[in-house]
């Protein structure tokens, strides 16, 4: 607000001086010089300005004011005023002019700073090679920025991430078809192959398919309750089991979603299922997993035997075991009894493998006999691959 008031005062003084001068054509050079010096300009500036404007005091004053706005004169370099009215009015006009000069200088510096900032921003955004992108580059960038929308659904702005979007943006990339998009034969074969490490699931499905093949009209063989303990234990978590059942025509019942039913028996699908499962049974993965499963069941059965005869046999094996070293002595031996449980004990360095077998016999009396006949075997699981111990 203060610079505006000071500017109006200065302008009013300028107009008053111009009006008192009368017509520019009737004013002498000496009067014009005196009036301009009374405004604070030097005699040399006043003389030059009057010569440039053909003696027009008004135009000379505007010219000098414009020059001082562009090139403000430092206060120390301004000439001393010799006008007879060297009082409060002159001091006020001088202060106004100095304030305007300082304001103009501040604006000038601010504009220069803004121009430098704009030039720096333009330099950052400008390509290093100073070349505009070609038409093909521009088209490529626009194509990469496109978003594929699914207009067929309820949400018109839903981004599509399916095969259509992939084919559009990456035409050379090919997605493998989903399992349900493959033929029934390939679905059955793939599901059966995935089950090779789950022998219990393979055996259950094989038994179900062969039973349906032999009794296609028996409805009780064509219904599976998924909530039973047997289903949860053997099929619920087996990879590929549910897909295999769907492939051979098992679907949820409309009356109970927990029940799978085969309303239509397709002999060809049943035959394909049996053939695929038979092929799976020949794989190394199935044979290995099957053997482990059998041993686990046998060990569990032996461990549950609490008869007096079994107790006496276990005590006899324990009597043959050497005493266990004290804490901090000997070495730990840990044995995983298939998938049933893990047992551990300390042994001295001079203890033998027979001592270890006697120790195992104290948990199940048939264990040493199974190992000696090679029905079972000990494996060193600290080695990779796991190696049998003879």
pLDDT digits 0-9 by tens, 93-127:
666 666 656 655 655 565 666 666 667 666 665 65
**pLDDT tens figures, 178-192:** 777 778 899 999 999
pLDDT at 234: 93
CB 330 within 8 A of CB 346: yes
Q: What is the mean pLDDT of residues 191-219?
A: 94
- Would the pLDDT of 206 be above 50? yes
Q: Are 371 and 363 in contact (CB under 8 A)?
A: no
Report whether 198 contacts 289 (CB < 8 A). yes
In three-state form (DSSP H/G/I as H, E/B as E, the rest C), the secondary structure along the chain is CHHHHHHHHHHHHHHHHHHHCCCHHHCCHHHHHHHHHHCCCCHHHHHHHHHHCCCCHHHHHHHHHHHHHHCCCCHHHCCCCCCCCCCHHHHHHHHHHHHHHHHHHHHHHHHHHHHHHHHHHHHHHCCCCCCCCCHHHHHHHHHHHCCCECCCCCCCCCECCCHHHHHHHCCCCCCCCCHHHCCHHHHHHHHHHHHHHCHHHHHHHHHHHHHHHHCCCCHHHHEEECCCHHHHHHCCCCCCHHHHHHHCCCEECCCCCCEEECCCCCHHHHHHHHHHHHHHCCCHHHHHHHHHHHHHHHHHHHHHCCCHHHHHHHHHHHHHCCCCCCCCCCEEEEEEECCCEEEEEEECCCCCHHHHHHHHHCCCCCHHHHHHCCCCCEEECCCCCCEEEC
- Residues linked to residue 346 through DSSP beta bridges, in sequence order: 332
* Cβ–Cβ < 8 Å for 166, 175: yes
**What are 180's two structure tokens?**
């349900």
Residue 166 makes CB contacts below 8 A (sequence gap 6+) with: 173, 175
Identity of the highest mean pLDDT range in 24-28, 123-127, 378-382: 378-382
Residue 35 in this model has a pLDDT that exceeds 80? yes
The two most distant CA atoms of the chain are separated, in Å, by: 148
Measured between alpha carbons, how far is 20 from 32 in angstroms, rounded to an integer? 11
pTM: 0.50
In this prediction, residues 145-165 reach a mean pLDDT of: 49
Mean pLDDT across 191-211: 95
Q: Give the pLDDT score at 61.
A: 83
pLDDT band, very low/low/confident/very high, at 27 (cuts 50, 70, 90): very low
Calculate the CA 332 to chain-centre distance: 46
360: nearest Cα among 376, 348, 349: 376
Across 2-11, 171-180, 313-322, 380-389, least confident range: 2-11
**Which residues lie across from 260 on neighbouring strands?**
224, 252
Query: What are the b/e assignments for 34-58, b being 16+ CB within 10 Å?
Result: ebbbbbbbbeebbbbbbeebebbbb
| Residue 3 preceded by cis peptide, ω within 30 | no
Characterize 99-124 residue by residue with b for buried, 16 or more Cβ atoms within 10 angstroms of its Cβ, and e for exposed. ebbebbeeeeeeeeeeeeeeeeeeee
Average pLDDT over residues 273-279: 95
Range with lowest mean pLDDT among 79-88, 101-110, 364-373: 79-88
Instruction: Evaluate if residue 153 carries a pLDDT over 50.
Output: no
Beta bridge partners of 337: 341
pLDDT band at 136 (very low <50, low <70, confident <90, very high): low
The mean of the pLDDT values for the chain is: 77
Separation between Cα atoms, residue 6 and residue 96, nearest integer Å:
5
What is residue 73's predicted lDDT score, i.e. its pLDDT? 52
Higher per-residue confidence, 125 vs 77: 125
pLDDT in tens, 226-260: 999 999 999 999 999 999 999 999 999 999 999 99
């Amino acid at each position: 607000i203060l610079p505006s008031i000071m500017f109006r005062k200065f302008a009013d003084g300028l107009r008053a001086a111009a009006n008192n001068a009368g017509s520019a054509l009737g004013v002498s050079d000496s009067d014009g010089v005196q009036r301009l010096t009374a405004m604070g300009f030097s005699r040399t500036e006043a003389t030059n300005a009057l010569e440039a404007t053909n003696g027009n005091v008004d135009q000379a004053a505007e010219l000098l004011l414009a020059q001082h706005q562009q090139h403000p004169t430092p206060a120390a370099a301004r000439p001393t005023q010799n006008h007879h009215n060297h009082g409060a009015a002159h001091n006020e006009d001088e202060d106004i002019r100095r304030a305007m000069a300082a304001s103009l200088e501040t604006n000038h510096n601010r504009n220069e700073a803004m121009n430098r900032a704009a030039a720096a921003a333009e330099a950052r955004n400008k390509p290093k090679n100073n070349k505009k992108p070609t038409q093909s580059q521009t088209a490529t960038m626009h194509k990469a920025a496109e978003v594929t929308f699914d207009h067929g659904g309820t949400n018109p702005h839903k981004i599509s991430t399916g095969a259509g979007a992939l084919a559009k943006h990456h035409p050379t990339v090919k997605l493998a078809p989903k399992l349900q998009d493959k033929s029934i034969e390939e679905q059955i074969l793939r599901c059966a192959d995935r089950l090779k490490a789950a022998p219990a699931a393979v055996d259950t499905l094989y038994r179900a398919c062969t039973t349906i093949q032999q009794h296609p009209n028996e409805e009780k063989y064509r219904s599976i309750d998924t909530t039973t303990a047997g289903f949860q234990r053997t099929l619920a978590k087996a990879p590929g089991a549910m897909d295999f059942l769907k492939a051979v025509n098992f679907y949820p019942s409309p009356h109970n979603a927990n029940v799978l039913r085969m309303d239509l028996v397709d002999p060809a699908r049943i035959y394909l299922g049996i053939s695929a499962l038979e092929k799976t049974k020949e794989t190394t993965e199935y044979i290995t997993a099957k053997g482990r499963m059998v041993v686990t069941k046998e060990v569990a059965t032996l461990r549950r035997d609490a008869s007096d005869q079994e107790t006496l046999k276990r005590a006899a094996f324990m009597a043959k075991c050497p005493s266990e070293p004290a804490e901090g002595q000997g070495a730990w031996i840990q044995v995983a009894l298939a998938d049933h449980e893990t047992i551990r004990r300390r042994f001295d360095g001079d203890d033998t493998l027979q001592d270890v077998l006697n120790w195992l016999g104290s948990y199940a009396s048939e264990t040493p006999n199974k190992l000696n006949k090679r029905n079972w075997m000990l494996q060193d699981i600290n080695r990779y691959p796991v190696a049998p111990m003879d």
